[in-house]
Amino acid sequence: MRLRVARSRSQWQELLTTNSWARRWAVHYAVDVEKIADEFEADRSGLLWRLRGSTDPIAAEHDRLQAESDFRIAMFGPLCVTVVIVAIRWSPWALLALPLLLVLVHVGVGLRATAAEALAAALASGRIADPALARLAVRTVPLRPMPTPQTGNPPLA
């Protein structure tokens, strides 16, 4: 594979429109993504409250998945204590139930991820209107400071 070097603005534009890796590197190097992500994270709770107030089936599905996830993860501690107490009082064979409890946590974390993916899919398809996405469309993107000969390259995250 031949390495392409861009020297002029038009060559940069052509390189960034044709090469996805170069485009990803340029965005990562120039855009302050952390600042945008912090703004979205701050607005996420507002999105969940607006979603709970709607009658959209996405809201019910997200809420159901989130509740199942929270329940399964919350049950891990008490069930672990119960298994250990049963193992101490009656039979150490009860400790064989501990891997099943780890499966319970694994399924709970998976359900939480599924709920987040369903929410992200609804946002991406436009079924849920989010003011944060509308603000992103009209605001300027925060850029990282460009390096100078004295400071060198900005640190990459």
Q: Quick one: tokens of 153?
A: 């390259």
pTM over 0.75: no
* Domain range annotation of the chain: 32-138
Q: Tens digit of pLDDT for each residue in 73-92?
A: 999 999 999 999 999 999 98
44-71 mean pLDDT: 80
pLDDT band at 157 (very low <50, low <70, confident <90, very high): very low
Helices 57-74, 33-53: axis angle to 10 degrees equals 100
Beta-bridge partners for 143: 31
The first and second tokens of residue 129, run together, are 């209107």
pLDDT of residue 35: 77
Residue 152, strand partner residues: 148
pLDDT, position 41: 74
Per-residue model confidence (pLDDT) at position 122:
78
The 8-class DSSP code of residue 152 comes to: B
Q: Could you read off the pLDDT of 102-132 as tens digits, one per residue?
A: 999 999 999 999 988 888 887 777 777 777 7
